[in-house]
Chain A
């Protein structure tokens, strides 16, 4: 518990056990990206924009609309924040950092520059996840563990798209 790093094969295998238990006990497969679309509908509603004007928030009996929260998956997403915090605190691995080390070496330590790119990345990523129907949790973990064709295709393209961008960003000499 106090070790900073566990072997990734072990931590991953335990996550596989967690997935199976979650399905067995709660009937739920892990996922995360839908929560952010649902969150957007709640924010629109709070800001006085009627989410019902968008078909996405009313389709499938409002599955993605503001009435869908709070739900199981939102609690998972919030729980991840808490679990990561507890783990990092227990091992002394918690560190407030605005710019990741690898980013700093290449693009410098300006937190605003990092924030802008992170925000834009978040917009594109979630748009893509909703179009694809899931993220590395829903398509990758849950989808591929069920041997879904959709999971294998989506995960392959997550890595292809990400690999192209990351290699373009870090091309050439390190600063």
Chain B
């Protein structure tokens, strides 16, 4: 059953990514060059709606959070490396396949590279675990827990900042 849910979720996700033009190299690199904020509008809209829904159902006791651990070292170094690769490829792991689905062959070269990157990471994992993931390891922590405030305060502030950013994008035609 899990596999069927996964396929259905993926198909809808791929459909929405395609309609939002998020699968395009020009849009992804366009955002990195601060020329076209289409993917940022898509992502932040999804995040805000997702945050409201997730925390409503969490407050009702219907879902559990699944926080990824915070490691300052891993997220800064790994995040920066990801960014460098992303700038070169112009697709991310979720969108490379989608790009291939809409006919962009270069998505396939990216996917092959990603498989190589996975193998490479596995080979050096013990070193990373001992030397990088251990830097600034804060565990599974959320922003509201970090600041000791109610999660709805964080969501409202986050949503207001996002709307201000959207307003700026529209004003500047980004």
Contact = CB atoms under 8 A, between A and B. Distances in A.
A80 B13 contact: yes
Contact of A83 (B21, B48, B85, B98): B98
A108 B104 CA distance: 16
Given A8-B41, A121-B87, A144 B13 contact: no
Interface string A99-112: 11111000000010
Contacts of B7: 75-76, 78-79, 82
8 contacts: A9-B42, A13-B45, A36-B118, A82-B10, A102-B25, A124-B88, A132-B74, A146-B65
Contact of A132 (B12, B47, B82, B166): B82
Interface in B135-157: 138, 140-144, 146, 151, 154-155
Nearest to B105: A98
Contacts of B99: 84
Interface string B66-108: 1111111011111111111111111011111111111111110
Given A55-B125, A150-B69, A166-B32, 6 more contacts: A25-B5, A39-B118, A83-B101, A84-B17, A144-B51, A169-B87
A12 B93 contact: no
A174 to B, nearest CB: 12
Contacts of B32: 159, 162-163, 165-167
A16 B159 CA distance: 14
Contact of A122 (B10, B110, B128, B151): B110
B164 interface: no
A63 interface: no
Interface of A: 3, 5-6, 8-20, 22-30, 32-33, 35-41, 43-44, 51, 54-57, 59, 64, 70-88, 91, 93-103, 111, 114-167, 169-170
A93 to B, nearest CB: 6
A37 B78 CA distance: 15
Contacts of A88: 18, 101-103
Contacts of A150: 67-71, 75, 141
A118 B109 contact: yes
Contact of B82 (A8, A87, A161): A161
B109 to A, nearest CB: 4
Contact of A102 (B5, B29, B72): B29
B63 A23 contact: yes
B118 A6 contact: no
A132 B75 contact: yes
B18 A121 contact: no
B72 A153 contact: yes
A80 B94 contact: yes
A121 B146 CA distance: 34
